[in-house]
Structure 1
Amino acid sequence: MSIIVTGADGYLGWPTALRIADRTDERVVLVDNFGRREWVESVGSTSAVPVTHIDERVDVAKETLDLANISFVEGDLTDRSFVDQLLSVHEPETIVHTAAQPSAPYSQINGERANYTQHNNLQSTRNLLWGLHETGLEDTHFIETTTTGVYGAPEFPIPEGGAVMENGGERDEVPFPAMAGSWYHLSKSHDAANMRLAHTQFGLPISDVRTAIVYGTGTNETAADPRLSTRFDFDYYFGVVAHRFCAQAVAGYPMTVYGKGEQRKPFIALEDAVEGLAQLALGDPDARPDDHVVYNQVTRAISIVEMAETVADVGSEFGLDVDVKHFENPREEDETHKMEIENDRYADLIGGQSTTFEEGVRQILETLLDHEGTVTAHEDRFLPDVLTDDEQNETVIEFTESEESDSSEEIQSVSGK
């Protein structure tokens, strides 16, 4: 028996695989097809932190962390025959499925990328679910990182799982409706529905881990050797907003807050995200779950403007003079939405938040200053192409607070760096 971690060359998958392997003697099989490297390269960007090849990573992990129980298999999870062979050979008791095309902006570029995102993500998950059923591995615990983006932005507190629906005086808990705002997020909504169906039809134990925006440059395991570092993307398409703000600060580039920036988004430090997945993967086999459980993998919600101000404040400790600029929002979203999201189940799993956002920002800035040349060489990737095509006519919105705390707008044209 073994534990399989898919997407193991990726930002979240790699440190998760190391954490799991460090806490068990079972064989941990890493699976990837290096898609993330290709997607980032295709938009003209790169990881700020050098990412060694997976073969060297595995060798260093064995040598530095004494992880003799890890191995790597290259393969495409959309290939049904590969998945069937993978499951038949390794007979996993647990699968941690982090493999996906994870970028909402990338999925929105055009119809080709939207189609690719949904095909890649849905086909991979379906192949794994059906493969477990058809190879007689229905007791395998299937853990997938979906996304909190499946919830959209409702005006009520987001539950950790289903929603209560009432009609004709009768009430019942139903799956939360797919309110996703991008082709990527909708792919994960479909994954969530397919996992629920697989549990119902095949009896598979399912943990649907709805992952928030993950930030941070590493974990205790990746810090053991520079060659164990996980990737760090900072461009518009693959760099989450916290990473992009930190990279902009290091490059002396104004932090690009879209619109008012008062909308709150769910966040979690990489360390806390990895810990939860490890806890799920390494639970007592005799107490293996036989249910379908949803976890909101989030530790707190932060507004975009608060995030930018925090980066500016922490950046001053490093001598960085950081401007916060409000740009016209290229996205359709409520710029004042005050998200509330329940996370009791996940908080119990990890024992509470281990890293504050301020600590995470400090760690990120320290790392990026060591790789400043890579960041500045790709600063044209901070903004989507539709904006960078005409930088000299960038529209910036400056907000001032009235006595009633209502935001008023003053629009001016400035040259954008």
Structure 2
Amino acid sequence: MEKTKTIITGGAGFIGSHLAERLLAAGHDLILVDNFSTGRHSNIEKLVGDRCRVVESTAAEALSDPSLLEGVSRVFHLAAAVGVKLVVDDPAAMIRNNIDETDVVLRAAARAGASVLITSSSEVYGKCPVLPLQEDMELVYGPTTASRWSYGLSKAIDEHLAIDLARRIGLRSVVVRLFNTVGPRQVGRYGMVVPRFVSQAVAGKDLTLYGNGQQTRAFCDVRDVVDALAQLMDLEDAYGRVFNVGSTQQITIEQLADQVIEQVAEAGGPKVDKTYVSYEAVYGEGFEDPPHRLPDMTRLQEAIGFSPKVPLRQTLSELIASEQDRTRLVGQSEEEKG
């Protein structure tokens, strides 16, 4: 990869901070843009220095300043509304944030002559029942009265904006649809199931499963994901195209819970059980969740030879160790205060 000046919006977030680590290690100069609504200073404090600076701002505000883009040749746009609960609670704010911010980022990249990668989501597929999910297949949504689908629709519009500018003015834009990215630094407060399960188990609480637990997902470690993002940005054949990024190893949510319970016990933690609650009890009446999500990875494999390297068991082990360390530090702090 040619060394270059790069902007990462959402750079202090879970995925953004891992991407920043990878690019910085490869010798790139970075500008991390984040308003810290969900990003955390602790994610990037070891990265900030002469070759990595932080702009505390929304993506739209930061990239509206032409001086920020001087010498920038790549923009990774990762900033977005996070979590199912936010989507359900305030879909209008989420829609405005996702679409308006992406539109500003794309136009700013076009003016600067920079390449741009837009992170979309598997939510774009809605409740399409045909598996595996291929990039060019038809999308299936529920009614507009169900706010559940608004996130996927907003991301689909983001994709249209990026693809349209690629076709009309030759913008070097790439779209990636992320499927259940997991790994160190991910937190469960926004509805992400893996860190939520780990936090509950380490705390000695039963794991809360929504629905019957037979939903299937395919989890991909964040380090594999950011490798794919970095490689796609350098691939001319990727411009104007959409790529799934994820794993093809399916697991039910119930199996995931059992694995977390087993690994926490193996790590010396408490032995816990599972409990089940309805989606309605968590998200309100009429909430729907696709029973299965599985990406077709053919396009990405053909483009960059992608094959995830970090197994789910390793990811869980690292998350469990991190949560145990955090819990110990909190306990020690409370003892000292006492």
TM-aligned CA deviation for residue 86 of structure 1 = 4.3
CA RMSD between the two structures: 2.6
SS of 1:128's equivalent? helix
Question: Is the radius of gyration larger for structure 1 or structure 2?
Answer: 1
Matched, 1:354 2:302: no
Change in Cα spacing, 1:182 to 1:334, as seen in structure 2 (3 Å) is: closer
Matched, 1:177 2:139: yes
Matched, 1:266 2:214: no
Q: Paired residue for 1:291?
A: 239
Q: Give me the whole-angstrom Cα distance separating, in 1, the residues matched to 2:156 and 2:21.
A: 28
The number of residue pairs the alignment matches comes to: 315
Q: Give me the whole-angstrom Cα distance separating, in 1, the residues matched to 2:140 and 2:106.
A: 20
* Aligned residues of 2:175 and 2:243 also touching (Cα < 8 A): yes
* Aligned residues of 1:215 and 1:269 also touching (Cα < 8 A): yes
Q: Which of 340, 345, 352 is equivalent to 2:299?
A: 345
Change in Cα spacing, 1:290 to 1:182, as seen in structure 2 (3 Å) is: closer
Q: Deviations over 1:82-128 (max 9, x none)?
A: 4232466424221111111121211211xxx3222111111111001
Matched, 1:75 2:71: no
TM-aligned CA deviation for residue 158 of structure 1 = 4.0
Change in Cα spacing, 1:340 to 1:375, as seen in structure 2 (3 Å) is: farther
Q: Give me the whole-angstrom Cα distance separating, in 2, the residues matched to 1:269 and 1:290.
A: 22
TM-aligned CA deviation for residue 148 of structure 1 = 0.7
SS of 1:210's equivalent? strand
In structure 2, stretches of 5+ residues that fail to align are: 143-147, 332-338
Under a length normalisation based on structure 2, what TM-score does the superposition of the two structures give?
0.84
Q: Give me the whole-angstrom Cα distance separating, in 1, the residues matched to 2:43 and 2:293.
A: 39
Taking only the aligned residue pairs, the percentage that are identical comes to 23
TM-aligned CA deviation for residue 297 of structure 1 = 1.1
Which amino acid letter does the alignment assign opposite residue 143 of structure 1?
L
Which amino acid letter does the alignment assign opposite residue 223 of structure 2?
E
Which amino acid letter does the alignment assign opposite residue 126 of structure 1?
D
Matched, 1:278 2:227: no
Q: Which of 128, 131, 141 is equivalent to 1:157?
A: 131
SS of 2:42's equivalent? coil
Q: Paired residue for 1:314?
A: 263
Q: Deviations over 1:26-79 (max 9, x none)?
A: 422211121215xxxxxxxxx8xxx5385x4444xx5xxxxx532222322233
For 1:169-318, what aligned pairs fall within 5 Å after superposition?
Answer: 176-177=138-139, 179=141, 181-217=148-184, 231-235=185-189, 238-281=190-233, 283=234, 288-289=236-237, 291-300=239-248, 301-318=250-267
TM-aligned CA deviation for residue 339 of structure 1 = 3.6
TM-aligned CA deviation for residue 375 of structure 1 = 8.4
Q: Deviations over 1:324-369 (max 9, x none)?
A: 112222253367x344420123345364111111111111111101
TM-aligned CA deviation for residue 136 of structure 1 = 5.3
Matched, 1:52 2:35: no
Q: Give me the whole-angstrom Cα distance separating, in 1, the residues matched to 2:267 and 2:166.
A: 50
TM-aligned CA deviation for residue 251 of structure 1 = 1.0
Q: Give me the whole-angstrom Cα distance separating, in 2, the residues matched to 1:365 and 1:5.
A: 28
Change in Cα spacing, 1:251 to 1:350, as seen in structure 2 (3 Å) is: farther
Query: Which of the pair is proportionally richer in helix?
Result: 2
In structure 1, stretches of 5+ residues that fail to align are: 38-46, 63-67, 164-175, 218-230, 377-417
TM-aligned CA deviation for residue 13 of structure 1 = 0.5
Q: Give me the whole-angstrom Cα distance separating, in 2, the residues matched to 1:278 and 1:74.
A: 23
Which amino acid letter does the alignment assign opposite residue 245 of structure 2?
Q
User: Bigger shift: 258-267 or 178-187?
Assistant: 178-187
* Aligned residues of 1:104 and 1:185 also touching (Cα < 8 A): no
